[in-house]
Structure 1
């Protein structure tokens, strides 16, 4: 029987189904032999197997039975293991407070019985709970103590678990290099011992760390999350499968890969339901409530037993001497009072049970509402993104159509005159034709945006082709200025360009990069317009000139290109600069901005082109956005003999 129990223990973190099988055999054999201590060990091992397999109600029921046997036998080794197993179960479910209570009870038992092997496990588990509570300093202290004991006692299973959690703590503290060292050590040690749960945790820690670093680390984050998912599935570790699939679903959604995101989201939903389904959680809550009632009933029995012993002592005294009958009467009064308190406590427990049932029903309703809200939020974000992309070309179409209508009216008025002015008619007809060509171009641009989105959803991002960035920058600046002037005819600005003629062709996705440049130029013009209005409103200096400067240059290494968009507008407060690239964040009034322009621009620069988009700003002084794109030198030898293009400044009246 003990051999079967040890086998069940050995397979706990590598093959939970084997643990359940050996645990059942051990339990049946112990019950047949009437071996009460063996039955307690079998219950604890069997509960651990069901916990690792994700059946939390069965694990809790078996663990509580094992704890009762340990308390009945007063066996410190069995009691410590039972308390540790129950603490681990509550930690897995996210119930930090009861988990911490069980672990500290197990720590006390281990220290009193000098059970170092148990203490090795318990110290690291306490650190895990403190990390769950975001108390990182306490988590670090206990995890380091547990890790030292792991190494000294050669407990590989506890060691790899503590190493992975130490990596998570250091990552949360911002010490990325130290965290990465722990994750690598955890992966190496877990692979050597085939300990899949720790391997899954270490890979997930690496995935989150790479995701926070962003940029080129995104692919590494995907790789680590996929390895974590494979380890969780191999070791039948459902909590690891849930975390990895949720991470991958969110990552693919951020890349707008809806098919992959839906696949991983489906896996995460199925796993979450198997672990935290409403029925299972109701069973867990019922078991916890029954355990609380059992503990209260046990305390009541102890109090009643003490009262009965006092009563028996008084009866003995009464039999010895009649004068002590008064003491007996007083004891009866105490007993009645104790019974009244017991009835009061029973009523309170019944009220708590009813409150828990109501809370469970409310929780189910809240979960359904949250699911609906999440679906609507995702749909709203997708719709807002498409609307933002199409807004600029449609604005141009509307503006040029309005101008064409005015020109057509002038043309009709000119035709109606008695004496025809053929030159005026020809000029008006030419202007109308030019406007129609602009309408056609921007209509094609809107169609191209829709086509690009469809191709991106089916085939991924478009290829990067050599492009004249200087022409793209000038075109974007002029389009943004014309768009603003069409809505505010009185607005004028000083546009300044400083373009490097040695730039050469740069491989980019021109359609996507033009969106970024148009958005940055439009934001710069909006900022200088707001600054001009503010200066005029407060009677500021009359010499303020709204100025937007755009420049291009190749880095000294020749492997990167920089594009800068600078304005002397309102600037961005320091407390808001960290938020400007977040989706739906905007400082514009309602109806003037969606909050998606800078977010989409950041994604295009960093993900599509592998570059960077940064901002520097001082409030009421200036704002400068810098795009840095990786680029090899193309044909630069032929440009050495050409002079740099001089600064070009255009003042619009």
Structure 2
């Protein structure tokens, strides 16, 4: 627990440079230098405002020096250094709980004389006492430490940054103790201070992720998604790989809550890709494996899910260093056993997840829900009812917390606005005093002009009348324009409603047909697999019979033909199942609400996710990516999830096209081909244009009119259903937009979109 906190806390700072670290380490190791100079060197290097994101080897190097530093600090009466040294020494006690507890208590005692700028580090000592030493640390004690820090600070930016970090630490304390309403107060205040200071750093990103985790745990998923998206945006800005991977895992977990299997897999693949070079994050991979198991549970692949979870369990049993799996592991494993109808195993697994009294979160709610279903499965209705009631009680509490969290957020926003208004009022009062003095001087001068102004009063009256008439004309024109705009919007809305009704009817018909086909297909697939096994057994039994070799060979040949036929039936049955699945997806009409969306950010996100997802599956694939976004592009109202599906379909097709062409061109020694995908946006009056271009093989003219038809595909059998572009076409049309495709000429290179062979998709959306 402690090492995880220290890594997150210290890895947030990026001011330090390796050269400075080497110089300070040299000073510290030089025993000929004065002890106070050596102490200053190690203290400066371990200063939380100068540490960079270091590997475990760096920590081990300094861990070995801290004990000597403590001895020298005591000897030279450097009491202000001791709290930081004792906190650092806790990480050197890895595996020795008694050592960690002793150093934590010494750090707290030493903090009484610590420099104000280092006070927030003392929270980590309290974390250790609570979670590693299992001591009863009261919330009041932590709050007193916080108030001591707050009282010692001023309104200087450097002090406000310390106050921000202290609020964040206290919010983390309450979050880890599952006291979410209290945690939200301090985390939102920390967030406000980050925005006021305009500070882009690790704490800012992790603050958003912690808020997302809390809202996930209380079931407020829409709010959680806003926070986790903001965390990812900051991670990309500051290039924090570890936090980026953690946020991707959080987004994947959130997609599981939405039961969005495709996006859950996409985000977990992205997390694995960005963290592939992070050597000291083995637990991160196990969290990813647990999420993979959750995705497989969602698609009812329980056997594969159990295999993933057993690999995670093996890691913690052998290499975990005393760590235990998180709550998601127990929940997904219990769900797997429920799916396999192994109810007693599910009960045993979920009971390993210990829950304190008066603890309410989604994990606790899921535990009671799983126990209720498992006990019902074994016929223990009494325990099933008991756990169902606990599940409902937990959900009721979470509903109250969700309402409370929204009230807290609005109150803090109101307080911030009040402070801004007070500041503006004070400024206005000062300005009014200056204006008052100036106005008296102006009055004396203006008095001499009154007579002259009277002569011009008639002229002014005439001009005023003309301006009034002009203003009325402008108002009439504006009202006319407003009426025309309202009429156009009404006509557009009517068209969209008609299209929605058509799509809903078609969707119901398609879904009905697909469901009817799915049932006999399941029987075909299941019995064909069974027949394959039976023919194998029959072949083995024939081998044992004592019959003439000629007859045996004839019978064996017939059995082989039967086996091949069953394999083909099974293969094409599965292909038909894939088509039916696509029909069901095609028939699903989104009921989401339109939201104001940054199209540039949406395009950039899905381009990156599609690339990372493909790279995670095919390590050999690579392509050049270019973006040309209109910086002045206005935000527009769309159904974000639907437009995201359109972008993902088209971008995936572009990557597939350049990948296939790369395979062909790589066999030609005299041709150098560089796969390239480009995406750009342009504002075109009352429309927004999104252009996606690739330099793949292009689209022949004779099939251009067919590619938006359902079930039409140019991919090999089994690799595509032909529903992706059809669905994309319907979504864009429902938004009142247009989707077009062009095949680029094979020669020339006219612009930055690479018009030199390939395909170009144009998406037009109304503002």
Normalized against structure 1, the TM-score is what? 0.41
Normalized against structure 2, the TM-score is what? 0.35
Q: Greater relative contact order: 1 or 2 (C-alpha under 8 angstroms, separation 6 or more)?
A: 1
